[in-house]
Amino acid sequence: MESKIMDAIGDRALELGPKPEAGPYRHFKLTRDADGVAWLLFDRDGASANTLSAEVIEELDKVLAGIEADRPAGLVIRSAKKSGFIAGADVNEFRGATDPQMVEAGIRGAHAVIDRLEALRLPTVAVIHGICLGGGLEVALACQSRIAIDSARFGFPEVMLGLHPGLGGTARFTALVNPTQAMTLMLTGRTIDARRAKALGLVDAVTQERHVRGAVKDAVFGRLKRARPGMLNTVLNFTPVRGFLAKRMRSETAKAARRDHYPAPYALIDLWEKHGGDKTAMLRAEQSSFANLMVTPTAQNLIRVFFLREQMKKTAGSGNTVRHVHVIGAGAMGGDIAGWCAGQGLRVSLADMKAEPIAGAVKRAAELYGKIIRKPTEVRDALDRLIPDMDGEGVRNADLIIEAVPEKLELKQKVYAGIEPKMKAGAILATNTSSIPLQDLRTTLINPARLVGLHFFNPVSRLQLVEVISHDGSDAGVLKEALAFVGAIDRLPLPVKSSPGFLVNRALTPYMLEAMVMLDEKTDQRLIDAAAEEFGMPMGPIELADQVGLDICLDVGDMLRAKFGDLLPPTPAWLRDKVARGELGRKSGRGFYTWKDGKAEKAPLPETGPRVSDEMIDRLILPMSNVCVAALREGIVDDADGVDGAMIFGAGYAPFRGGPLNYARTRGVENIVATLRKLADRFGGRFAPDEGWANFK
């Protein structure tokens, strides 16, 4: 909640011990309190968050040497950054690693520093606020006790980068807390809050800044009861038990990720199965396992994706001025966009003429908040911010209006005519259209310069991409504000010029329509989906079409064919019939598959029969890369990395492939072009390689 007083004096809250002075270190400050306890403040130079780089770890080594010599009564380690303790390793240093031996040598040196911290013969306390992830948590684990501030969040997100913890975390975490729970956290990359961390035995106490001094004193002088591993931990770390549990972990992991696509979780399970319970051996084995993972294409591509996300966040920029969003149309998209924005702290009025869709949107928002917001009062506040608006009154005070009414030009223009006179000066008018060019929508506007496209993807809470669509009359300031808005609601923007299908739908449509052609060739729909999944897509094109809605696929397909003609596979006539029959996919319970509780019912493929072929995969996958190159050549988008990011965050394109352009680059442009030619000869001109490949690097 807003608080003018806390805005003014809130920085007094962080308890950093005695006032630090400039010392010999670049990233650390060391002070001593009245009890003789040393306070080591980590404040990485020139950064807003603490991360561990080689240089930082080297300096930490020097600090520890000094402490060994000075022998203070105890050592407190905490961050001087508002953002939190330590966000993890400096991922920049992971980029482009190719030699596992070199990686291993580096990690060995870092291990020695953390071991030195653990071996200090004085009480050591980590005081943790905010984020404490990966390498940061590994530093904390090397201390004898850990005190968490309420705000703390803990986790090992390495698996998202195709890695597992590499600074002793695998050994120390599984030794300290219940290894099945420790493994689950490391395998999923999920984060936990301070309360869970306490329950797990990861931290010894949870408190507030105002009690840090008292808690530290108790921890240093042995008055704080420490969380200790129980009997159960020892039992679960026994060899036969580990074997049994590891098997179960592998089968659980296999449900989410294939070993050939994502080796890291399997390497982590192997590591624990082999060495769990033997800390020294596990610490050693972790180093080589980590180094081997680091050089895999999966890890390098996922690390690339990490930076794509950072890049997109930078594109979003800061300085969002939108406080009140007015969403028109409480259907599936409008309702979920409104729910998401309110969950992100904005005031949202959700306009619809009918109460039913608004009530449905409120229900979906409540369900979403129940999953992502822990405190019931914060769920209530988010729901309070989501304001049902049956009279469309919210438009008057809104900074941003998002129109999400059905895809009919006249209807949208009628809505604009009704709201434009009521809009505040400086308010932005955005449309969530996925198929109508902004050039057509703007014709009736008094002020077309403030029209922008904000194209969200379904489900809004899971797909992070928002295409920010401009037209040739867009106001540059409006676009900048729209980008900042997308950043402020924790989504990732891709600037796109208005053109049919924008980027993601245009690239996805051939993927889905080619699958329809394959169906016409009597290929089993499950086999088609399996081909795409074997490549690494989160779901096959048939299932995706069901998920998106066959009516929408048909609309978008028709719209794109009107523009691109035979560059797209023909829409089969039976698809029209299917839609006419009301078989729309997931939303109607039946499309290509039967849907129950939001899941497609799929029988396993027969044991004998046709298998997935490389040609099948190429037919489905390569047109996506082809469209992306075309969009770059046409100037619809201007950043190849952004295109990869958009396809990953908007279409779920296999992240470990690094995106459709990165995939083409890795496989080789000549190879791609030749394969496309071959497919064109065999299946038709729609596969003809785009001329943009000639200049693609």
Partner 1 sequence: MARPVFIVDGSRTPFLKARSGPGPFTPVDLAVQCGRPLLARQPFAPDAFDQVILGCVNVIADEMNPARVAALRLGMGEDMVAFTVQINCGSGMQSIDTGYRYIREGHADLILAGGAEALSHAPLVWPNSGVRWFAGLATAKGVGAKIAAALKLRPRYLKPIIGLERGLTDPVTELNMGQTAEVVGHLFGITRAEADAYAAESHKRLANAQAQGWLKGEVETAFSRDGKFYDHDDGVRPDSTAESLAKLRPVFERPWGQVTAGNSSQITDGASWVILASDEAVAKHHLTPKAVIVDSNWAALDPSIMGLGPVMSATPLLTRNNLTIKDVETWELNEAFATQVLGCLAAWNDDKFCREILKLDGAAGEIDRDRLNVDGGAISLGHPVGTSGNRIVLHLVNAMKRLGTRRGVATECIGGGLGGAMLIEVV
3 state DSSP class of 330: coil
| Residue carrying structure tokens 């549990």 | 245
Spatial contact of 382 and 342, defined as CB atoms under 8 Å apart: yes
- 3-class SS at 549? coil
Residues 6+ apart with CB under 8 A from 458: 332, 333, 336, 548
**Paired sense of beta strands 124-128 and 145-149, if any:** parallel
> DSSP strand E in 436-489: where?
451-456, 465-470
CB nearer partner 1, residue 47 or residue 383: 383
What's 6-60 look like in SS3? HHHHHHHCCCCCCCCCCCCCCCEEEEECCCCEEEEEECCCCCCCCCECHHHHHHH
Closer to partner 1 at the Cβ: 115 or 384?
384
CA dihedral 541, 547, 550, 556 (to 10 degrees): -70
Q: Which of 632, 617, 620 is nearest to 694 (CA)?
A: 632
Query: Active-site residue among 158, 533, 534, 543?
Result: 158
| Phi and psi, residue 345, nearest 5° | 100, 0
Q: Which is nearer to partner 1, 199 or 373 (CB)?
A: 373
Distance between CA atoms of residues 510 and 523, nearest Å: 17
Positions in the binding site for partner 1 (CB under 8 A):
1-4, 347, 349, 355-356, 358-360, 362-363, 366, 380-381, 383-385, 387-391, 393-394, 396-397
Under 8 Å CB-to-CB from 498, ≥6 apart: which residues? 437, 438, 439, 453, 469, 470, 471
DSSP secondary structure of 296-310: SHHHHHHHHHHHHHH
Q: What is the spatial order of strands in the sheet that 131-133 belongs to? A: 84-86, 131-133, 153-155, 191-193
- In whole angstroms, the minimum distance from the beta carbon of 345 to partner 1 comes to 11
Taking the complex as a whole, the smallest distance from the CB of residue 335 to partner 1 amounts, in Å, to 11
- Encode burial over 13-29: b for 16+ CB neighbours within 10 A, e otherwise: eebbbeebeeeebebbb
The helix or strand, by DSSP H or E, that contains position 124, with its residue range, turns out to be strand 124-128
CA–CA distances in Å: residue 547 to residues 3, 516, 554, 574, 689: 43, 15, 13, 18, 29
Q: Which two tokens stand for residue 313?
A: 């966040």
Question: Nearest distance from residue 394's CB to partner 1, in Å?
Answer: 5
| Rounded least distance, CB 452 to partner 1, Å | 24
Task: Please name the helix (run of DSSP H) or strand (run of DSSP E) that holds residue 251, with its range, or none.
Answer: helix 239-256
Cβ proximity to partner 1, 86 vs 365, nearer residue: 365
CB 343, min distance to partner 1, A: 13
Query: By the 8 A CB rule, do 51 and 88 touch?
Result: yes
Q: Which C-beta is closer to partner 1: that of 264 or that of 365?
A: 365
Q: Which is nearer to partner 1, 315 or 349 (CB)?
A: 349
What minimum distance in Å lies between the beta carbon of 5 and partner 1? 8
Q: Which is nearer to partner 1, 20 or 388 (CB)?
A: 388
**Which of 502, 512, 503, 500 has its CA nearest to residue 562?**
500
At 469 the three-state DSSP class reads strand
Q: Tell me the closest approach of the beta carbon of residue 1 to partner 1, in angstroms.
A: 7
Nearer to partner 1, 347 or 506 (CB): 347
Compare residues 7 and 601 and give the one whose CB is closer to partner 1: 7
Q: Output 20 or 360, the one with its CB closest to partner 1.
A: 360
Chain center to CA of 376: 25
The count of other CB atoms within 10 Å of the CB of residue 344 is: 15
Q: How far is Cα 514 from Cα 687, in angstroms, rounded to an integer? A: 10
| Helix (H) and strand (E) counts in the chain | 28, 20
CB nearer partner 1, residue 345 or residue 692: 345
Distance of CA 600 to the CA centre of its chain: 24
Q: In angstroms, what is the minimal distance from the CB of 333 to partner 1?
A: 18
CA distance 485 to 502: 20
Using the minimum distance from each CB to partner 1, give the nearer residue, 81 or 364.
364
Say how far residue 571 (Cα) sits from the centre of its chain. Answer: 33
The catalytic position among 104, 138, 273, 403 is: 138
Minimum gap (Å) between residue 355 Cβ and partner 1: 4
User: Is 158 a residue of the active site?
Assistant: yes
| Spatial CA neighbour of 385 closest among 352, 340, 426 | 340
Supply the residues annotated as catalytic.
Answer: 138, 158
